Structure 1
Amino acid sequence: MKKSRTIWIMVLVICLLAGGIAAGVLFFVNSSEKINPDIYGRIYIPDTEIDCPILQHPEDNGYYLTHDAEGEENLSGAIFSEDYNSKDFEDPITVLYGKNMENGSMFGSLQKYGDNLYMQEHPYIYIYAGDMEYKYRVFAAYLSDNRHLMERFCSGKSQGNREAYLKSIFDNRTMEAQIDNSVEVSTDSKILTLSTHDNRGEQYRYLVQACLTEKKEVSPVEAEK
């Protein structure tokens, strides 16, 4: 990890000296992908601790449970998707995983969405992938079991699968569940789910779900902000 950062700094200095500011900016834009080609996007939730690269390992869905974004062994892991999902965020159901870290890193702050006021104050999730920005509106946050969402609902491939998925969300009636019924969600919506472990036990997961409301093309510099 330290070695890769040292190389990263050295290359940046060379870029600045050899090609000026433009070369340095270009390096910054592509630096994450050069450090680890498994990085294919970034998740950002304004005014929260969540501002992290998104990864997907080509062979091992559990790899980034125990490795960081630079591919180094790290119990904090990284934010990642499994190979059930493509990397263009065009799937009906997309699930991103991250550990529930006590210091608030990774997805350690997700459970704050259990407070209605917090959900109102942090309604949007932004995903940057390639030259695209995806804007999602949070509409649900609740405690769930540990059943695999993509397998349970067949990745949302059919309308029936998607109907069952939405029903499972809106059927939550516990006091702790936060469901915003004012957000328009249908079987045609692209749903992003953020999933993390819950301290109450290995059989539980805490989920935050949002629907895609806007996507637009952005410059690489904007995507790095």
Structure 2
Amino acid sequence: MKKLMTQTNVRYKIRRYIDIDTIAVKGFFILLIAFSLIGCSKKAANSVGNTGYETSTLPTEQESGFDSVKRLNEDAFAWLYIPDTNINYPILQNAEGDDTFYQGHNELKEPDAEGAIYIEAANLNDMCDFNEVIHGASPADGNRFAELNNFLDKAYFDEHQYAYVYMEDNSLTYYIIAAYTRDNTRLLEQYDFSYASGCSEFIDEIYNNGDANKIIREGCETGLSPEHFLITLTTDSTVEPGKQTVVVGCLVGDAAGKINREIDYGNEEY
């Protein structure tokens, strides 16, 4: 990418989510008729490299309590669901910018040692950042994000391929491409995702981090670029105490076609 981009100090507005295969699209339009779901049209998108990202599915009809939680807590902006796990929670962002609030409060703003599932103030709650970092605790009862640690088991990882994010006006599908443990540092502080170079540094971590527990989805060993959209689910590691477990997903379905951003290649490295 560095060799190809010769301009500097220019912001490029590019839509980059992975194309959805024809069979899935046809099936979704059948569901549109049968169940009166929200409209969705297939949009052309550029894929990067010959990777497994092109294989995808459209959002499911999973029922969530998003509407009821939204009425109780205005900080709720989406709902995260991973099939065949206990991960089925609202995603929150504290309106006051307090990134520690949901470490000690649940989705109803009640004091709770298990906390809630949340993003930091530095992330956009429209899911249009390069990397939406979603936090949750790993309590002993297996709630919240405790099951993320199971993704470090290859058999479990292989059986769980997709994560879904439901919003008031959109449904997003993410293909789970990697799981590993890393130092317990804040990703949004370590990498500047507002620049393409910061995005590339995190991509390099995914591919080249030396962690022995790392698993990368077959077909996804290469091909990520700053033009993609990721979610990184993070929790305390139960495999390596003192570290964090991260599960990374790449956007492969955008039902309303709203996921877009400007990519800044304008720093000195590009």
Normalising by the smaller structure, the TM-score range is 0.7 to 0.9
Residue by residue, what CA displacement relative to the aligned partner does 1:62-84 show, whole Å, maximum 9, x if unpaired? 10000000000000100000111
Name the structure where strand makes up a greater proportion of residues: 1
Return the letter of the residue paired with 1:147: T
Q: CA RMSD in A?
A: 1.6
Return the letter of the residue paired with 2:171: E
Q: How does 1:99-114 map to 2 (within 5 A)?
A: 99-114=137-152
Residue by residue, what CA displacement relative to the aligned partner does 1:162-202 show, whole Å, maximum 9, x if unpaired? 11110011113433111125134222111100010124434
Q: Does 1:119 align with 2:157?
A: yes
Q: Distance in 1 between matches of 2:66 and 2:213?
A: 40
Q: Which deviates more, 163-172 or 71-80?
A: 163-172
Q: How far is the alpha carbon of 1:30 from its aligned partner?
A: 2.9
Return the match for 2:211 from 148, 168, 174.
174
Q: Which residue of 1 aligns with 2:78?
A: 41
SS at match of 1:143: strand
Q: How does 1:180-219 map to 2 (within 5 A)?
A: 180-183=217-220, 184-199=223-238, 200-202=240-242, 204-217=243-256
Q: Distance in 2 between matches of 1:189 and 1:181?
A: 18
Q: Structure 1: which 4+ aligned runs deviate by more than 6 Å? A: none
Q: Distance in 2 between matches of 1:138 and 1:167?
A: 17
Q: Which residue of 2 aligns with 1:20?
A: none
Q: Which residue of 2 aligns with 1:141?
A: 179
Q: How far is the alpha carbon of 1:31 from its aligned partner?
A: 1.7
Return the letter of the residue paired with 1:139: I
**Higher relative contact order, chain-length normalized (CA < 8 Å, sep 6+):** 2
Residue by residue, what CA displacement relative to the aligned partner does 1:1-46 show, whole Å, maximum 9, x if unpaired? xxxxxxxxxxxxxxxxxxxxxxxxxxx7632111111111100000
Q: How does 1:6-17 map to 2 (within 5 A)?
A: none
Q: Distance in 2 between matches of 1:205 and 1:97?
A: 10
Return the letter of the residue paired with 1:136: Y
Check the 8 A contact 2:104/2:114 in 1, yes or no.
Answer: yes
Return the match for 1:55 from 89, 92, 101.
92
Aligned length: 189
Q: Which residue of 2 aligns with 1:97?
A: 135
- Structure 2 unaligned spans of 5+: 1-64, 258-270
SS at match of 2:140: coil
Name the structure where helix makes up a greater proportion of residues: 1
- Normalised TM-score (structure 2): 0.67
- Normalised TM-score (structure 1): 0.80
Q: Does 1:75 align with 2:113?
A: yes
Q: Distance in 2 between matches of 1:174 and 1:144?
A: 7
Q: Distance in 2 between matches of 1:129 and 1:164?
A: 29
Residue by residue, what CA displacement relative to the aligned partner does 1:116-150 show, whole Å, maximum 9, x if unpaired? 22112110000011211110011111110112111
